[in-house]
Amino acid sequence: MSEQQTTQRPEHAQGGTYTVPGQEYVRDQNYLSTRITRDGADGYPVEPGRYRLVAARACPWANRSIIVRRLLGLEDVLSIGMPGPTHDERSWTFDLDPGGRDPVLGIERLQEAFFARDPEYPRGITVPAIVDTRDGAVVTNDFGQITHDLSTEWTEHHRDGAPTLWPADADERAEMESVMRRVFTEVNNGVYRCGFAGSQEAYESAYERLFTALDWLEDRLSTRRYLMGDAITEADVRLFTTLVRFDAVYHGHFKCNRSKLTEMPVLWAYARDLFQLPGFGDTVDFEQIKQHYYVVHTDINPTQIVPVGPDLSGWLTPHGRESFGGDPWGGGTAPGPVRDGEQVTAGHNPLVPR
């Protein structure tokens, strides 16, 4: 494949187009960047009940928004629709809902909301997306901006005791943004560079970058409980959604196989610490995660056989991270029980046994 060629196929959470210059995976990051803000500067003011978050549990980028919505207690003001774990080249679909339609938006495919915004919409149909229920048109699918704005623009509607996921201190914030940039480029996206590498050389380069970053994180987290210190932040949310998928899909399916997560002692303990906090592990559906990656990526897994493993019981074992002290909630409180209708399917998560 030449440097000029672009290929189109159903790619996880991006819905379609990515380029392969020199056979190295490059994520298409052109999103609808319209924002929902307090002042409504982009035409979309924060308004309880007006918007619907569409977020597939299978997708790590969407899983971020599910976690943040729950941590901040926005369930009563921002409804959620959850597509099924698989999609075709056109769109994510609501095949888990009665009649195959989202019960609020009334659509079968998320693509319909994108076409309501732009009938000629040319890019991938991605999750997470926020849809305006007034006209059924997507407002934004910019996953990074979505969780940032839920934390900073929706504060009037946060639950009492909600954690502060974005530090107010400018220096802390600058450090966190630097950490998140490295986590995104080297880890969140790094596993995809391994999985979709178009040559041995591209794969080996991506593999080296990924594990260099994971070793850096092992070192950073050996002296602090969370990425930024004593309390959870957005940075932890962003790293968690990759770590929780690592052994189930990235280690084998994407050939990220120097070490399993369970063989990286600091990261494994850190991931268990987060998993056992309300708002993190209780959003994770391991069966949907595996179904997505192993069924949709037919070029990587042409048989579409979904692995039975790995054993998930370890996620509930003691992690020992309390020895660092601190308070995960930064002086706030944990979110309450998962809302009815939003629970992970029994048996798909060790927190929700059959």
CATH number at residue 279: 1.20.1050.10
- In terms of phi and psi (left: phi > 0; alpha: psi -120 to 50; beta: otherwise), the region of 155 is alpha
SS3 278: coil
Q: How many domains does the chain have?
A: 1
Residue 224 maps to a domain: yes
Q: In the predicted model, what is the mean pLDDT of the chain?
A: 93
Out of 51, 192, 203, 270, the active site residue is: 192
Q: Please determine, for residue 189, whether its predicted confidence score (pLDDT) is greater than 70.
A: yes
Quote the pLDDT of residue 6: 28
Going along the chain, which residue ranges are E strands?
6-8, 17-19, 51-54, 79-81, 129-132, 137-140
Residue 267 maps to a domain: yes
Structure tokens at 354: 């059959």
Per-residue pLDDT averaged across 305-333, rounded? Answer: 97
Structure tokens at 42: 């982009």
Residue 15 maps to a domain: no
Out of 25, 31, 59, 194, the active site residue is: 59
Residue 283 maps to a domain: yes
Q: How far apart are CA 145 and CA 210, in angstroms?
A: 24
CB-based contact 344:351 (threshold 8 Å): yes
What tens digit of pLDDT does each residue of 26-85 get?
888 889 999 999 999 999 999 999 999 999 999 999 999 999 999 999 999 999 999 999
What tens digit of pLDDT does each residue of 274-302 get?
999 999 999 999 999 999 999 999 999 99
Q: Please determine, for residue 227, whether its predicted confidence score (pLDDT) is greater than 50.
A: yes
Q: How far apart are CA 280 and CA 274, in angstroms?
A: 6
Quote the pLDDT of residue 294: 98
Per-residue pLDDT averaged across 203-226, rounded? Answer: 98
Is 44 buried (19+), middle (13-18) or exposed (0-12) by CB count in 10 A? middle
Quote the pLDDT of residue 29: 84
What tens digit of pLDDT does each residue of 1-20 get?
222 222 333 343 344 445 45
User: Within 13 Å of residue 138, how many CA atoms lie on the same side as its CB?
Assistant: 28
Vertex 325 angle, CA 324 and 328, to 5°: 105
What tens digit of pLDDT does each residue of 37-51 get?
999 999 999 999 999
Annotated binding site for glutathione: 92
pTM: 0.94
Residue (of 326, 143, 150, 134) closest to 241 by Cα position = 143
Q: How many helices (H) and strands (E) does the chain have?
A: 10, 6
What tens digit of pLDDT does each residue of 147-181 get?
999 999 999 999 999 999 999 999 999 999 999 99
Residue 162 maps to a domain: no
- In angstroms, the first-to-last Cα distance of the chain is 47
Whether residue 192 lies in the annotated active site = yes
Q: How far apart are CA 80 and CA 54, in angstroms?
A: 6
Residue 215 maps to a domain: yes
Strand order of the sheet with strand 137-140? 79-81, 51-54, 129-132, 137-140
Quote the pLDDT of residue 18: 52
Structure tokens at 336: 């309450």
Vertex 348 angle, CA 75 and 237, to 5°: 50
Residue 235 maps to a domain: yes
Per-residue pLDDT averaged across 318-327, rounded? Answer: 97
Residue burial 329-338, b: 16+ Cβ < 10 Å; e: rest: bbebeebeeb
Residue 344 maps to a domain: no
Rg, C-alpha atoms of the chain: 19
% pLDDT > 70, the chain: 94
Full residue range of the structural domain in which residue 183 is found: 170-324
